[in-house]
Amino acid sequence: MQTPAGFGVNAAGQFVPEDWWAVIFNPVIPYRLLHMLLAAYLTTAFIVGGTGALHLLRDPTLPASRIMFSMAMWMAALVAPLQIVAGDLHGLNTFEHQPAKIAAMEGHFETRAVRH
């Protein structure tokens, strides 16, 4: 869908897969997969951290709550910068393979001639 590959068009005008490896492993998959995995880890860290914080508010003497909150915040502190880097790499890959999408995201709706 994003960078279509491995398909053909039959006589009825329908898109038909011809090479499933090309369909699945197109040029954007490493960036999208990494970005989504890091997003899942980051979301989980904040949910666990919020749960630990709630338990700490209710009873600050519970050591398990303190450990849960600490581990979640360490995970968030490690994953958040990685997510920023992965997002930037994903954006650069999108710029390479889908420049029109980047132009639309940035609000460049009129094309301009490039003069040398």
Question: Look-up: residue for tokens 């849960």?
Answer: 68
d(CA 69, CA 66): 5
Average pLDDT over residues 5-20: 86
β-partners of residue 16 are 8
Higher pLDDT, 10 or 51: 51
pTM over 0.85: no
Query: In this structure, what DSSP letter does residue 76 have?
Result: H
* pLDDT bucket at 110, cuts 50 / 70 / 90: confident
Task: Judge contact between 35 and 87, C-beta under 8 A.
Answer: yes
Using a pLDDT cut of 90, give the percent of the chain over it: 51
| Position 111 pLDDT exceeds 70 | no
pLDDT of residue 65: 95
Chain centroid offset of residue 92 CA: 13
